[in-house]
Structure 1
Amino acid sequence: MKRTGFKRKQPGAFKAQLDRNTQTLVRKAAMKTQRKRMTVAEGAKYLAACRGEPCYLNVKCPWTDWADPTVVDCHSNQSKHGKAGALKAKHWFTVPGCGKCHEWLDRSGAPFEEKCRVFDDALARWEPRRARKMGIETQEAA
Structure 2
Amino acid sequence: MTWNSTFKARAKPLARAGLKRRERGASKASFHTQTLMRKAALKTRKKRVTVAEGAKYLAACRGEPCFLRVPGICPLNPDDETVVPCHENSIEAGKGMGIKARHDRTVPGCFRCHHWLDQGPVGKERKKLIYSNAMAAWMPVRARKMGLEMQEAA
- Structure 1 length-normalised TM: 0.73
Mind listing any 5+ residue stretches in structure 2 that lack a counterpart? Answer: 1-13
Deviation at 1:72, TM superposition (A): 0.7
The CA RMSD measured in Å over matched residues stands at 2.8
Q: Aligned residue for 1:23?
A: 33
What is the number of equivalent residue pairs in this alignment? Answer: 137
Matched, 1:114 2:100: no
Give yes or no for the alignment of 1:61 onto 2:75: yes
SS of equivalent to 1:73:
strand
Of all paired residues, the percent bearing the same amino acid is: 49
Partner of 1:47: 58
How far did residue 31 of structure 1 move? 0.7
Cα distance in structure 1, aligned partners of 2:83 and 2:60: 11
Give the distance between the partners of 1:2 and 1:101, measured in 2 at CA.
76
Q: Relative to structure 2, which stretch is displaced further, 104-113 or 92-101?
A: 104-113
**Contiguous gaps of at least 5 residues in structure 1:** none
Whichever of the two has the greater Rg, that structure is: 2
1:95 correspondence with 2:95: no
Paired AA for residue 24 in structure 1: Q
| Residues 1:32 and 2:42 are matched in the alignment | yes
Q: Which moved more, 1:35-44 or 1:96-105?
A: 35-44
Match of 2:68, SS state, is: coil
Deviation, 1:43, is 3.2
TM-score by length of 2: 0.68
Residues 13-72 of structure 1 show CA distances to partners (whole Å, capped at 9, x for unaligned) of 13x4333322222221111111222123323333232222221112213374x5x31101
- 8 Å Cα contact 1:128/1:138 also seen in 2: no
Deviation at 1:86, TM superposition (A): 4.4
Cα distance in structure 2, aligned partners of 1:57 and 1:39: 26
Give the distance between the partners of 1:120 and 1:126, measured in 2 at CA. 10
